[in-house]
Amino acid sequence: MVRWRILWGTAMAVLTAAALGASASPAAAAPGGSGDGVVPSTNVVGGTRAAQGEFPFMVRLSMGCGGALYSSTIVLTAAHCVGRTGTNTSITATLGVVDLNSSSRITRKSNYVYRAPGYNGAGKDWALIRLASPVTGLATLPIATSTAYDSGTFTIAGWGAAREGGSQQRYLLKAQVPFVSDATCNSAAMYNGEVIATDEICAGYAAGGVDTCQGDSGGPMFRTDSAGAWVQVGIVSWGDGCARRNRPGVYTQVSYFSSAIRSAAASLGG
């Protein structure tokens, strides 16, 4: 069964809010969370703990998703993590720390959500969240604007579960996964044609064992560019379970949507 990489109960709340024409509200904080509305869900499977400051652009969102700091006021995440486009002051973004419980964490409230036009649950899985005030002192994550970096080895990171059906992690985990071609990912042995080749990119091991998981939705998949700097090539979208054999992670292909993302961000002042 295909699953979004967001806690199922949270996903239902988002979809219900969208159906009612309202922006999604964050789930209530739970024991072991950061106390800012982050819900327990599931983290990078097969990962190791990231060092403080290693990925300064990583964002944790209070509805149980991840994101990347696109600009000082804009977070890039997945469309299935949010409700409709419009004013939304209910989301809290946590930034600047590996440990969600750290007293050094930076938090910002949202004031607007932009969801990809035409999003209906199949492809186009990207969205922007505008923050109520700028974040300073943290590096942003540039997006890929061509397919030049849409292969090779990618880095994934998140606070989702470390095993399928597990709970949110307190500390940011990271891992590396290899590119899987569209033809291979859509083969009968894997997703049998379910992947939208133009919109999505696959990454993972045929043997399984390393993957993003529920709770990592909206977080970035990234790699180094020709200058050795990080560039975002994917957005955590969906997969069949977590780290299963012949079931790589499926990510929004950022390069395909780069023009639309940049235009939308500019319209939001970012």
N-terminal to C-terminal alpha carbon distance within the chain: 37
215: left (phi over 0), alpha (psi -120 to 50) or beta: left
Over the stretch 88-132, which tens digit does the pLDDT of each residue have?
999 999 999 999 999 999 999 999 999 999 999 999 999 999 999
Over the stretch 186-244, which tens digit does the pLDDT of each residue have?
999 999 999 999 999 999 999 999 999 989 999 999 999 999 999 999 999 999 999 99
Q: ∠ CA(178), CA(182), CA(187), 5° rounding?
A: 105
Burial classification of residue 10, based on how many CB atoms lie within 10 Å of its CB (0-12 exposed, 13-18 middle, 19 or more buried): buried
Give the whole-angstrom CA distance, residue 270 versus residue 265. Answer: 5
Q: What is the CA radius of gyration of the chain?
A: 16
147-255 CATH: 2.40.10.10
Average pLDDT over residues 41-69: 90
Reply yes or no on whether the pLDDT at 20 is more than 60: no
Closest CA to 170 of 40, 67, 63, 36: 40
Catalytic residues: 80, 125, 217
Residue ranges of the chain that CATH labels 2.40.10.10? 2-39+56-140+258-267, 147-255
Give the whole-angstrom CA distance, residue 201 versus residue 178. Answer: 11
pTM of the model: 0.87
With H, G, I as helix, E, B as strand and everything else as coil, classify residue 132. Answer: coil
Give the whole-angstrom CA distance, residue 203 versus residue 178. Answer: 5
CATH superfamily of 2-39+56-140+258-267: Trypsin-like serine proteases (2.40.10.10)
Give the whole-angstrom CA distance, residue 245 versus residue 169. Answer: 23
